[in-house]
Amino acid sequence: MGKSLKTTYDSIAIMKCSVCGKNVDQTFLKKLVGTYVKDKKSKKKPVCKVCQKTMTMEQIKEKL
């Protein structure tokens, strides 16, 4: 045995929603609680689930 799992909390970057600017939660597997939406430049932007719920994809893309 002798293997030690090093927890690297430093590597967890806080993602912010590109629409409302709030922090987007991530699961312990670093999966975003929300989604990524590609903007006009095909750049992936994080969008929280609240914005996903309250806005259409068109509205979200306008704000990216």
| Residue 20 is a binding residue for Zn ion (CB under 5 A) | yes
Q: What's the gap between Cα 33 and its chain centre?
A: 7
Q: Which residue, 15, 19, 16, is CA-closest to 62?
A: 19
| Residue 15 is a binding residue for Zn ion (CB under 5 A) | no
| Residue 48 is a binding residue for Zn ion (CB under 5 A) | yes
The binder of Zn ion chosen from 17, 37, 45, 60 (CB under 5 A): 17
Cα angle, residue 45 at apex, residues 39 and 49 outer, rounded to 5°: 115
Residue range at the interface with Zn ion (CB under 5 A); choices 4-12, 25-33, 38-46, 51-59: 51-59
| Residue 51 is a binding residue for Zn ion (CB under 5 A) | yes
- What residues line the site for Zn ion (CB under 5 A)? 17, 19-20, 48, 51
